[in-house]
Amino acid sequence: MKNLQSKIIISDQFSTFLSLFGDIFFDRKSESVVVLCDQNTAHYCLPALQEIIREKGLVWNVFVMNAGEEFKTLHQSQEMIQFLLQTGATRNTVLINLGGGTVCDLGGFVASVYKRGIPFLNLPTTLIAQADAAIGGKTGVNHLTIKNLIGTFHAPMAVGIFPQFLQTLPQQHWKSGLGELFKYAMIGADISLQAISALQPNNTQPLTGVIQEAVRFKTAIVDADPFEKGPRKVLNFGHTVGHAIESLALENNLGITHGEAVAAGVVAETYLSVEALDLNSSVLNKVSEFFLQHFSIQPELTEDPARLLQLMLHDKKNRSHDAIQPVLLSQNGEPRVNETVSQELITRSLVFLHELIQKRGG
Ligand SMILES: NC(=O)c1ccc[n+]([C@@H]2O[C@H](COP(=O)([O-])OP(=O)(O)OC[C@H]3O[C@@H](n4cnc5c(N)ncnc54)[C@H](O)[C@@H]3O)[C@@H](O)[C@H]2O)c1
């Protein structure tokens, strides 16, 4: 079976980044390049990429998708596929995903199915995508408001991470990235909550270090378990509750970013860990404090535990339809997978989260 390894380049120097990234094209006989971006990355990030593509003398086309999670759909994928067809893309065409997790997930999915698979590169432009979404080879789109219901495993040939892209990221999406880093801090990456709190988009040195550590941590886990049979599941900490909140937001047109939802999920799943596995309650206090300091979530999203429970029952991480299995933290803080938690306890964790969110509002 194939693995999901990709060449990963991280540099906060633009010239180094350009030349390393350009060398990847130089290495292969690509016939043409299609760039997938959204309206924002077309504006802020595409001009930098144009330089390399022109320099290599490649034929290239650009597809600009609508920005935002609500466009991570099969319909948008079909439009992209139609564009590839119209522009004569072959199996030797390289797709470059220039954007956040939405662009990388959707573009990776299209690359995995178009003509049974074409090569692609990820050039992540959000904190979530640089620290997490662009690596590891999970692709996907949402369906009927269920997150990532349709997807594949298909690794990019390479991932080029240039932290300076983050300087134009809106505050809400910067915060979203902090949510995913919050998860990494809790599951054993060498990233402290203090280090996350101190990050600034324009202070690229510490930022590059934290992204490097998240990438190192994730890569080691993905290499050991590419298709999520066991250990890779730990990367889903915070996501059982987080995905349910995101799905509810999609259903009701309520705005929340992926990372904000994951941060809320980290709180609820830490609560579950205290109750189910005797994790020290001081961890929950620390986690709650960090959450209150950085995130502000609409209380409407957590006021109906029964609906959130229903959405959680769809989670791909469950082994059966009526058993909910969030990732938990054991007594010594290490992540544990395949632990079934009662619906009554999950309801209590959601009530705890809701009260915390109301506290933030008040
Ligand atoms: N495949 C994985 O392993 C994995 C892991 C984590 C998250 N994800 C997915 O990632 C998605 C969330 O990622 P995201 O937060 O990056 O979302 P996103 O791609 O929707 O980007 C968020 C917003 O930022 C804008 N933007 C992107 N780069 C910019 C820049 N440099 N300057 C200005 N604006 C910019 C985008 O246009 C968009 O409006 C979710 O769908 C989530 O499920 C996937």
One-character DSSP codes across 180-206: HHHHHHHTT-S--HHHHHH--TT-HHH
Domain span at 201: 174-361
pLDDT at position 299 over 60: yes
Which pLDDT score, from 0 to 100, does residue 50 have? 84
Which pLDDT score, from 0 to 100, does residue 58 have? 78
Cβ of 154 closer than 6 Å to ligand 1, yes or no, is no
In this structure, are 160 and 239 located in the same domain? no
Kindly state whether residue 199 falls inside one of the protein's structural domains. Answer: yes
Kindly state whether residue 212 falls inside one of the protein's structural domains. Answer: yes
52-66, 229-243, 245-259, 266-280: lowest mean pLDDT where?
A: 52-66
Count of CB atoms situated within 10 Å of the CB of 192 = 11
CATH number of the domain bearing residue 51: 3.40.50.1970
In this structure, are 154 and 212 located in the same domain? no
180-184, 280-284, 308-312, 319-323: lowest mean pLDDT where?
A: 319-323
In this structure, are 154 and 192 located in the same domain? no
pLDDT in tens, 62-105: 999 999 999 999 999 999 999 999 999 999 899 999 999 999 99
More confident residue, 25 or 166: 166
Pocket test for ligand 1, best of 49, 69, 104, 181 (most atoms within 8 A of CB): 69
Tokens of residue 325, six digits: 């299995």
The distance in angstroms from the start CA to the end CA of the chain is: 53
pLDDT at position 1 over 60: no
Which pLDDT score, from 0 to 100, does residue 19 have? 72
pLDDT at position 362 over 50: no
Which pLDDT score, from 0 to 100, does residue 53 have? 78
Average pLDDT of the segment spanning 328-334: 90
Which pLDDT score, from 0 to 100, does residue 59 have? 83
Cβ of 6 closer than 6 Å to ligand 1, yes or no, is no
pLDDT-derived band of residue 333, with 50, 70 and 90 as boundaries? confident
Q: Whose CA is nearest to atom 4 of ligand 1?
A: 133
Q: Whose CA is nearest to atom 11 of ligand 1?
A: 101
Cβ of 218 closer than 6 Å to ligand 1, yes or no, is no
Cβ of 153 closer than 6 Å to ligand 1, yes or no, is no
Kindly state whether residue 35 falls inside one of the protein's structural domains. Answer: yes
Cβ of 132 closer than 6 Å to ligand 1, yes or no, is yes
CB 157 within 8 A of CB 6: yes
Residue 137 Cα to ligand 1 midpoint, Å, equals 15
In 3D space, the residue among 168, 160, 166 whose CA is nearest the CA of residue 178 turns out to be 166
Cβ of 40 closer than 6 Å to ligand 1, yes or no, is yes
Which pLDDT score, from 0 to 100, does residue 26 have? 60
Element (H, E) at 266: helix 258-277
Tokens of residue 200, six digits: 């600034």
In 3D space, the residue among 266, 222, 214, 274 whose CA is nearest the CA of residue 240 turns out to be 266
In this structure, are 114 and 32 located in the same domain? yes
CA distances from 123 to 64, 156, 170 (A): 15, 10, 18
Q: How far apart are CA 351 and CA 229, in angstroms?
A: 31
pLDDT at position 307 over 90: yes
Of 119, 149, 169, which residue sits at a domain end? Answer: 169
Q: Whose CA is nearest to atom 35 of ligand 1?
A: 169
Which pLDDT score, from 0 to 100, does residue 27 have? 61
Residue 345 Cα to ligand 1 midpoint, Å, equals 32
Kindly state whether residue 2 falls inside one of the protein's structural domains. Answer: no
Cβ of 98 closer than 6 Å to ligand 1, yes or no, is no
Which pLDDT score, from 0 to 100, does residue 293 have? 96
Give how many domains the chain has, as a whole number: 2
pLDDT in tens, 18-42: 777 667 666 666 678 999 999 999 9
Residue 161 Cα to ligand 1 midpoint, Å, equals 14
In this structure, are 195 and 332 located in the same domain? yes
In this structure, are 252 and 288 located in the same domain? yes
In this structure, are 337 and 190 located in the same domain? yes
17-21, 76-80, 215-219, 254-258: lowest mean pLDDT where?
A: 17-21
CATH number of the domain bearing residue 315: 1.20.1090.10
Q: How far apart are CA 344 and CA 173, in angstroms?
A: 33
Which pLDDT score, from 0 to 100, does residue 28 have? 63
Q: What is the 3-state secondary structure (H, E, C) of 334-351?
A: CEECCCCECHHHHHHHHH
Count of CB atoms situated within 10 Å of the CB of 349 = 24
pLDDT-derived band of residue 325, with 50, 70 and 90 as boundaries? very high
Kindly state whether residue 155 falls inside one of the protein's structural domains. Answer: yes
Q: How far apart are CA 129 and CA 294, in angstroms?
A: 19
More confident residue, 51 or 296: 296
Query: Counting beta carbons within 10 angstroms of the beta carbon of residue 19, is it exposed (0 to 12), middle (13 to 18) or buried (19 or more)?
Result: middle
Mean pLDDT of the chain: 92
342-349: long-range pairs with CB below 8 Å, 24+: 343/309, 345/272, 345/275, 345/276, 346/241, 346/268, 346/272, 346/305, 346/309, 346/312, 347/305, 347/306, 347/309, 348/271, 348/275, 349/241, 349/268, 349/269, 349/271, 349/272, 349/275
CA distances from 6 to 121, 249, 348 (A): 9, 33, 41
pLDDT in tens, 116-157: 999 999 999 999 999 999 999 999 999 987 889 999 999 999
Cβ of 129 closer than 6 Å to ligand 1, yes or no, is yes
pLDDT at position 320 over 80: no
Q: How far apart are CA 39 and CA 104, in angstroms?
A: 14
In this structure, are 132 and 249 located in the same domain? no
In this structure, are 151 and 276 located in the same domain? no
Of 169, 199, 223, which residue sits at a domain end? Answer: 169
In this structure, are 219 and 123 located in the same domain? no
In this structure, are 145 and 261 located in the same domain? no
Which pLDDT score, from 0 to 100, does residue 236 have? 96
Atom of ligand 1 at shortest distance to CA of 136?
3
Of 169, 184, 208, which residue sits at a domain end? Answer: 169
In this structure, are 142 and 129 located in the same domain? yes
CA distances from 334 to 210, 270, 280, 337, 351 (A): 20, 11, 12, 10, 25
